[in-house]
Structure 1
Amino acid sequence: MLLTLVLIASFTPLIIGNAPRAAAATCTGGGWSDLHWKSDSPNVKNGKYIGPGGHAEVEFKWTAPKGAKGGDSFELDLPAQLRSVDTGPITLQDENGNIVATGKWNGNKFIITLTGFQDINFDVNGSAYVSVAWNTNKDFTGDLVFNGCGTGKLPGEYKHREGGLFHDDSKIGEYIGFDEKTRNHKIQWSVGIDPRQHQNNTHLVRVTDKAPKGWQFTCDFNDNNGYAPVYVSSFIGSKEQPQSKRHIIYNASGHPQGGRREGFKNINSENDRIDGFSEGHHYTIKCSPEQVTVEFPYGLYEQSAPVLTITAVTKEAPQPGSNVINKAMIDNVGVEGSVRFPSAGGLGRGKRGGFTVEKNVVGTEEDKAREFTFDYKCTHPSYPKGERDKNGQVTVRNGSVVHVMGLEKNLKCTITEITPPSEKGKKLTTSWVVFDADKNVKIVSAASMFEFTVDELFKEATQILVTNKYERETGGFRLRKMAHSSDEAGNLIDQESKFQTAIKDKTFSFPYICTLPEVNGKEGEKRQGTIKLKNGQTSSDVTDLPIGTECTVTENTDGLDIDDYQHKEVSWLGRDGTQNGATGYTFTITGKPDSIAQYTAVNIYDPKEKPKPETRGFTLKKEVKGLEDDKTFKFSWICNGDHGTTPTRGETTLKNGEEHKVDGLPLESTCRVSETNASVSGYDHTLKWFIDDKPATPVAGGTIVMVNPRSKDKAELVVTAVNSYTPVVPPAPPTTTETTTTTTTTETTTESTTSTTTTTEPTTSSSTTTTTTEATTEPTTSSSTTTTTTEPTTSSSTTTTEPTTSSSVPPTTTTSEPTTVPTTTTTESTTTSSSVPPSTTTSPSTSTTTPKIPPIIPIPIPIPPAPQPVPPVPHPTPSVTTPPVATPTTQLSTPQKPDTQQRELARTGASVIWMLLAAVLLAGAGGVIVYFANNKKRR
């Protein structure tokens, strides 16, 4: 923004200061050609001069015609859009310092005038360059057309900056050029002030600027074409089109007024009037060659943009291309600006008898600053050795020419360059080029010396151009890419076909950056790039890297994984050693010049772990009822998944209350779970299956159940096998009831043995029976065994019978809990009878009852004696020892003869009838006894 305002403010006086253009060009001294922007010109981008602000340098070649003489001139005329930047007169010299021509500005014409050099030389020519700046405040894009003693056009672009009113505190400078009248080189400094940054209670704002070293501020109106060399301006109005008010300041209240000046001389009142100066109190300028101070006692209006303009001068021509820096203070804020000085110059040459040596150096600035020495030796082939010889030595710098003259015709000369030692790491190449009179190349040589024959004296000078090219010794590198896979043990598998197929289309990216060695203490430039390779490929050579260059190559690690393989690490192989697992490799270009080092990046891959398939499972539990044994049960299962999958088998053992989890079963599998050893001797059992506590329907006889396992993210599937056991009733052990009586028997002995097994349904019985029996029988022994569950009962009776010995298990007084069990009854009955003398015995009778005896269904047995009348209830008497009983005689069972079968059947039928009668009589007797016993208790 400040630059735009300064251009607006300074545009008018610059136009006023330009001299009027001449009507016609004068070209007697020659002409110009090959017009172009100088290669190192400032403000030129891509061959185009860009504005506004800043100068540019125009370069051209010139030639003097054969008929020209000293004092003749020619000119270069600028286009209307440009103005000259006068750096003062210039001289165009040859290699010996002879002035070939001079150049200076006259308004917008640059005029070159030949000297007396033209009179004693022929083929005089040269080159020149001058500085120009923009001379417009309107947009322009197109060709800038130059005229005069030649025609040419150069591209340019000027963009007018509107930018608005406001700018920060800042300072800029511009080289105005050389003033022929005052012989001063001038800089115009502009200090921009931001009112918004300098608002305070006192309103006072002060600006102080001191002249830079080697320069003075001018307070003389004559040094600025009769106008004020130091002044203030304000920009006010819309920000799109601000108006410049010279010599006016708007105070903090927005009121405009002039000011006062101190220290000025040669004030031109008329120009002051034209320029708009008026006395006032809004500022005071104090000017001296060393310092300029401006005070604004009433502050600055925030909507204005004040600028202080100062002119600095010097008599000493600034070094072309150099900078001058200046700093100003706005209150306590320092602002700094700088100016780069334009340059103008050129050279000339002419031809004479002899030869010229021109030096050209390609290399660093340090290389170009050297002096180069040549020895020459000239001999005449027609004269004895040494008689007409002419020897000498010349010294030349880069861009200059040395002329050896006065050599006789036909002298054969040899010129040799005394080559200075080159720096370590640099390579020197020397080339010789000889031009003929028409500037055509005659000879090109790369030797260290050159031979030629001198042309006619004062007619032509042999022109020799010697070029020294200093190059750093260089090397380079190439990159190779390898990839391997490893097995589970970490061993490399170089030719694993599956991996090679997966990796073949993978492209690896390797960015690299190389830092060149320092040059003249400055950090070397950086070169960078990216190499892309596939497995097994080798890159092209990266070359032209000076010895000592340090390079770092890295591998882009994004997306290195491939199908079925994951990247593990990269290792680097090179002449500097192996670096395993590093993402990058750093090395230095060393060794012989032009050598190429190879480095290999090796990527190691591991096979990817395949994701484990989702599995399912269930929990197997065991419950046992009715069995006290700690039995172990064996379970097995087989699970079938999708079609084509291998069945999963397993087995386990469980006890009551234990469980087992079955995992890792395939998806969508169905399992057959079975129990194989549930049977227990002496027990009946049932097996029931439950899934999640709900009854399940078994298959294959109840020992197998079908299960669909569940995944882990669902509720646990519990399969329970419940075994219930019921004991099988075994035969009851014999129970003996002993009765001691006095019996009279006959001598008849009968023995019979009957064995009967009866299986009945479970019976629940609860009863109490008291039985008193009196009988006269043959001696009988009976044994009966029954398994049941009852409470024990004791019955006491007194009976007078024939002497009897019996062992039996009859139903007696019994109390039992309801029990439902399968019952097996085995009854063995043995009867022994004998005839003895009758006797009467009264004795106590003790009855023992086997607990829990199930009911017995009568089976045909031998007919007992007929019942006797029930005698009165006797009083208990002491027990009488039963006398020994004769050993019974057992009647052997033999097959009956056919004639006896009918008699046996008859006996069997009679036995049944008698048994029924006996049972009725016994039941009746028992009822009577019970009745009387109960009545007696009630009393």
Structure 2
Amino acid sequence: MSTTTASNQSFFKLFIALVGSIALVASGILVAQISHAPLAHAAQCKGRWNNLTWKDGPSINNGVFTSRNGFAIATFDWEADANAQKGDTIELELPQQLTTAEQAPFNLYDEANGNVIVARGSWSGKKLTITVSEFADQKFNVRGKAEVALKWDHSKITPSVGFDGDLQFTGCNSNGTLKGKIGPLGPGGSTHDNQKVGTYSGWNQDAQGYVTQWSIGVSAVDTNNQPISVTDTAPDGWKFICDGTKNGGYSPVAVQTFVNRQPVVHQVMTSDGNVQAGTYYNVTGVAHEALPQGHGFYFHCTPEKITVNFNYGIHPSVGPIIQVKAVSPQRPTPGSVITNTAEIGGKPYVGQVFIPRQGGSGTGETGGFTVKKLVQGVSTEKEFNFHYECHPKAGSTPAAKTGDVKVKHNQVVHVGDLDKGLTCTITETDASVDGLNPTTRWTVDGMPTESVSIETRHKHESAIDVVAVNRFAPPVTPPVTPSAIPSATPPAPEPKVGGFKVKKEITGNAAEKFTNHTFTFTYTCGDKTGELTITGAGEAQGPQDIPVGTICTISEKEVAVSEGINWVHTIAPSASVTISETDPQSVTVTNTFTKAEPKTGTFKVKKEITGNASADFSNRVFTFDYTCGDKTGELTITGAGEAQGPQDIPVGTQCTIVERPVTDLNAHAWTATYQPTDGITITEGQQPTLTVTNTFTKPEPKTGNFTVKKELTGNAAENFNNHTFTFTYTCGAQTGELKITGAGEIPGPGNIPAGTECTVVEKQITVPAGVTWTHNINPTQPVTIRENETALVKVTNTFTTTPPAPGSSDNGRWWIFLISIPLLGGLISPLLPLLSSTPTPTQNVLAETPQAHSQHTQPQKGLPKTPQPAPHTQPKKGLANTGANTSIILFWALISMLLGLTFITTRKKKQH
């Protein structure tokens, strides 16, 4: 079954692999169940592959694949058989420890024309099949390069051991070995750090999109048994899966915990040590498992955001793993990076998923034929015209082609740019010279023929295909009459013999590569045949006992040349010589070896930066890795700018440029887009440009506020209801003032970053004498601002009045006055009768005084305890006794009022 199907069928198994790796401070492991398809029989293969190697990247360490959950790029060369046709295949089988990171099929495009598909790659389990297109029917020497993204198949690796060794690749009579090494898979523990990791799964039929799986590890070490919340927002272009019908009927989300090193799904151990189930909200379509209802956690799922609340904390001995899946309808750009940030307890944790890249290229070559002209019997510089018509043979697809070529005596002309699978007929249109018509003899590959019909050949095959020999007859000699014949027959003369030699010449800009090469020639002289060899440029002597008049045909065997070198040979004056009795006939075989200077070009990378945090990265150095055929390297750009690629990239090469991930985000979000999205192809005279746009965004700051509440208490509080109280505040670098009149509330400035500590201070106020002022601020300063919360700062003022303390100046005078009144009365009363102008009756003063103050003074010594009445006497003329008493009372009342008013007036002035 496919990777996608296995993932859908057992989400529980997926959790076990992913969570176990996080427990070892690694990343979640995706268990991909891939069926092991049998190797195709070698007879079915129409080609081979070789040069298997790891491509340098973040998963490769000194040529060894070491990334536990990442993927690595393997590259290799492939070549189709010479007789391969459309639909023929080449296969590569992965080792059991590996599987493909991307199941999607891919195309291998022509290096010279990026719109032409040379072959197609497809996966079936662990078998990669490269199927050649009709390109193989049209071109010679079809071959190319391929690269595939591979990852570990953890189901084929012993968890407690891991893997360290050779990875064996097989298929189509080919084999290769790569190195790989990973440690034990775990589980190795129950706790882990806060972290987020992701894995790309590729196309998912149920989800109808491309799926990434994210694992969020939550640590309880620093939570102090307090509630903790986890939130995650889907990356741009992606949606979280909350519907189980898009995950094979299983829950697309889950919380899992390792308890006693065993996985427990949909449960968590709370801070009190109890294992409790949680509750999922908005998770639908789950048919193949039961979702519990509990209070261990609350999982809210929406396509845009997931939130998991652990309201009862997490036990520090275990750490839960939150598993979610996200889907995108658009296939991510191969080689790109998806970045996602989860918040655990309000702190950001960034996870990245690298999108695997696979593809490659192909190429092929055209063929043709050669025409050589020989003229015998006359000498001429005429150019002879040959017409050719080429049509596809049955079952072939190349386009028909016709043309004309002109050839002089002893000249060879090559007709090229003809596709494979064409049958060409060649005719000579005008062979006459000075009115004479020759007889024409044709040979194809040294064999005589009446007409010419040949198939196009590869340029590395025998180059001289067609030879047209025009023989012009000499003048006719009169016949000899019988009378002239001698009567006697002379003895037969000894047969005359001769020979030939072959001279070798080497030319061309690649001639130096063949100076020590041994060239082989074959000759046919009547019934005599043989071979000659020449090393480098030189000569070889043929047999010298060939009867005069014999025609010898000399040909050169094909010379094997390396890729990129063209070989053309000519034989002068002709490949056929007639043996004479004079000097040995000589033929010169010239080989021309040329290596075409490749046409080259370059490319440019343009960097653009957008987003609300773009200014934070305007001076950052960005690094790009490029691969152009077998040429690799890196470019750097500071901020928004441009970088020039190398100048010597062959035209037609497809280049892949990938930006290295930006890791120092400091809680920013980062995305990278490429235009064009499918790489660039080097073209002659142009400079293709790849524009890489980075979008940096920072989340809106989390803010809060505070409120100052004023309360007035005490027996003098009402005197301050209209008083304006002033407060100063300091929140980080932000300062200001707030004012409240009487009792009331006033909010702070607002939008204060969460976590900021604010200090509120009330300014001192002045109160009247006799009033006491105290104030109290609750809570104790400073206060910490919380996200989306308003902290309350309560300021209470107490105003009280108290009686004057003993010993003050006013109190002294008051009590002196009160004490002095009876004393003054006792002193002044006896004097009043003396001051009166009206005579008063004689009376016993000493006897009256004690009577009047009997309740306020002790009896005087020598006086009777009970006053004795005065002797009754006849009153004299004048005021009665009663009138004198009334005057005294009025006098003292007046004195008392004056003194009281004076005292009260003095007190009021002092108070104000």
**TM-score, normalized by the shorter chain, greater than 0.5:** no
Which protein is bigger by CA-based radius of gyration?
1
TM-score range, shorter chain: 0.3 to 0.5
